[in-house]
Amino acid sequence: MALVRVISSDGAAFLVSQRLAKRSGKLKTEIETFRKSSDNSEAQPEIRIVTIRAEILRLVLQWLQQHQNDPVLPANQNEQDGRGDAEMGQSQWDRDFLAPMDLGIVMELILAANHLEVKGLLDITCKLVESKITGRTVDEIRTAFKLKSDFKGNEEEQTRLENRWCVEN
Amino acid sequence: MAQSIQNICDLPPELLEQIFSWLEDVNDFQSVINTCPLWHDIMEYRKAENLFAQVLPILMEKEIRIHHRPYPLNNFATFRQVCKKWKQETDRLLALYRFETFDCKAYRFYGAQTMQRFLTHASALPEGINPILGNWVSFTGVDERDFGLCMQLIRGYGTYIKSIHLGSHIHVNRFPFHELQLALTFLPNLEYLYANAYVEDWTVGYQVLALPPLPLLKELFLLTEITMPWSTPDYRRHQQLTDSFVTAYGPHLEILTCSPLLLRLESISDRLPNLTSLEIEGMRGMSITLDDIHTLSRADWKLQYLEIASFGAPTIQCSTALMEMLNNFRATLVSLYLSIQLEESLEPSDLNVFPCLKRVSLRVNSTFSVFPEDLRDRLNLFSVVCPNLKILYITTVGKNMNEAVREELQFAEMEGVFQQLQNFTHGRYHSDVHRM
């Protein structure tokens, strides 16, 4: 089985099958570029991902492993036609996968899935964050993301007044 | 004696935290948390605050480009109140994205009642509060009786407005030139103008008309349908308006949409030295001519986006002149939208290489009864002249187009004529993907 070493920003190496890695658009391109530039067709590619730390890379690979037999969808597949729709594609496994994560980790996963071009993972993580921000009040968002207001003086009131016409119409 | 510090990692965590907190750029924040587990743990509590800046554009892109839905402006209003960092990022995106990106009726003024309500609301706000979130407004249903209120709104809050629609495609919704002229004097910070104007005073001559300076105006959409559908378009008046706008704002304009009459003005290339995006909209009874194509072939513009002929406008023949014109922009063109008449004479080998071209949208018409056998091979040449093409949209038009030819075109697109394409859509028109 052909393997590839994927190295996280903080130096952890993950040895995975190329078949699995190629389900990420970015890793697929990197592996193909390595093949073209390498004289030895047997050489094992090594790919360093400087923007993703080990904990997150491990989660991405875990998700890919679970979904390795799903059909690969183009990055901008129109979801209106049903294929690749996060709602339809989200399995109980996905829900259990995301359930223990705090939103900081989920946001890191969005950035990682976007960078590595893993559409299915991007769909479910974006959907989760959207559900925590769309139609929510300011306080609900602060609670969900564990954020505190850091506005000073009348800054918050000023922002509220600027928003008022938009919110009420 | 205190132990000497040789490495940044020797610093106590609280000091590291203080240093990292000074980093303004969200990319720097990401670099810090990705460096090592210790640094991640020190800054973990600020992830939700900082990473939002990179996550929000991804969420928006998904809504706009994939679901083809505008993003709710109300969400933005809420994000602005969460914390300073979220407000900063939300405001940056509000300034970056176009009017059409957002789902929001609040600043689209259709009649007297909403304008009156807005004026009452805005006048009750304390001094210095900007009542126009996003800095854009649209007046698309304002008739003559409402010009007073419209002008009152622009006069009072025009300095906040960066993007404005004055008039619309609806025939009766045009602004008399003198009203438009006056409105623009109160909009000194305007960056984008969409205007449907007409010269109401028939005694005015055909000379260039004066317009107030708008030093920040980069994008102009000059509507082409200027007359009632039952009357004959007055091309001379429209050319006068085009000339006036180009004279006043041409030197700074980067993005322009207008009729083919633009290409019939004197020294047009020199008068728009910074143009990077051009959309030529067909107007009733007037389409782009061979002379217009020649003018474009000579224009000294570094166009990244070019669109010629929109719906309803006649298609352009695939002539040598068209290939010459495209070659003129080959070095810079990133996105191209053309409405063309496919003919046997189509010869992609006349095209040079377009190194930057990433998106092509074609509305194709043809009168073939049978798809020429060698045409598919010639279509293959496009993948050679456009080595970086990523997205291709083909829309087949024409009621009389032979069904077999239509299918052949679909086949050409889907079965690998453009094998390097990452994605394509058949028969769809996505106005939101035009500008890169």
Q: What is the DSSP string of B195-229?
A: E-EE---TTS-SSPPP----TT--EEEE-S--S-T
Residue B373 lies in a domain: no
The predicted pLDDT at position B2 comes to 52
Length in residues, chain B = 436
On whether both B242 and B111 belong to a single domain, the answer is yes
Instruction: Choose the final residue of a domain: B258, B286, B314.
Output: B286
Domain-terminating residue out of B234, B267, B286 = B286
pTM summary value: 0.82
Mean pLDDT along residues B170-198 = 88
Of B78, B81, B131, the CB nearest to A156: B81
Q: Do the Cβ atoms of A30 and A16 come closer than 8 Å?
A: no
Q: Which residues pair with B286 in a beta bridge?
A: B283
**Per-residue pLDDT for B150 more than 80?**
yes
User: Do residues B59 and B190 both lie within one domain?
Assistant: no
B335 SS3 class: strand
- Residue B39: inside a domain: yes
Same domain, B82 and B165: no
The answer to whether A51 contacts B30, with C-beta atoms less than 8 Å apart, is yes
Give yes or no for residue B152 having a pLDDT over 80. Answer: yes
Same domain as B153, residue B69: no
Give the per-residue pLDDT at B322.
86
Task: Examine residue B343 and state whether it is found in any structural domain, yes or no.
Answer: no
A29 vs A16: CA distance, rounded Å: 16
Both B82 and B110 in one domain: the answer is no
**Which residues 44-83 of B are in CB contact (within 8 Å) with A?**
44-45, 47-49, 51-52, 54-55, 58-59, 62, 65-68, 72-75, 77-83
- B272 Rama sector, left if φ>0, alpha if ψ -120 to 50, beta otherwise: beta
Same domain assignment for residues B190 and B232: yes
A104 touches chain B (CB under 8 A): yes
Domains for chain A: give ranges and CATH numbers: 3-134 (3.30.710.10)
Same domain membership, residue B137 and residue B270: yes
In sequence order, the 6+-apart residues with CB closer than 8 A to the CB of B50 are B26, B29, B30, B85
Q: Which domain holds residue B205?
A: 105-121+132-286
Shortest distance, CA B127 to any CA of chain A (angstroms) = 11
* Residue ranges of A 27-66 with Cβ closer than 8 A to chain B: 50-54
The pLDDT > 90 percentage for chain B reads 37
Pair (B251, B109) in one structural domain = yes
A7 contact B CB<8A? no
Q: Is residue B8 part of a domain?
A: no
The residues that bridge with B283 in the sheet, in sequence order, are B286
Residue where a domain stops, chosen among B222, B254, B286? B286
State percent of chain A over pLDDT 70. 89
In tens, the pLDDT along B57-89 reads: 999 888 877 777 888 899 999 999 999 999 999
Mean pLDDT of chain A: 87
Residue B391 reports pLDDT greater than 80: no
Asked whether residue B138 falls in the same domain as residue B60, the answer is no
Inside any domain, residue B156: yes
Question: B41 and B62 share a domain?
Answer: yes
Partners of A132 in beta bridges? none
Q: Check whether residue B112 and residue B80 sit in a common domain.
A: no
Does residue B23 lie within any of the structural domains?
A: yes
Q: Is residue B390 in some structural domain?
A: no
**What CATH number does residue B224 fall under?**
3.80.10.10
Please give the average per-residue pLDDT across A23-51, as a whole number: 87
**Reported ipTM exceeds the 0.95 cut:** no
Full DSSP string of B22-80 = T---HHHHHHHHHH-HHHHHHHGGGHHHHHHHHHHHHHHHIIIIIS--PEEHHHHHHHH
What is the total count of domains within chain B? Answer: 2
Q: Are residues B44 and B187 in the same domain?
A: no
> Which residue of chain B is at minimal alpha-carbon distance from A109?
B55
Query: What is the rounded distance in angstroms from the CA atom of residue A97 to the CA atom of residue A93?
Result: 6
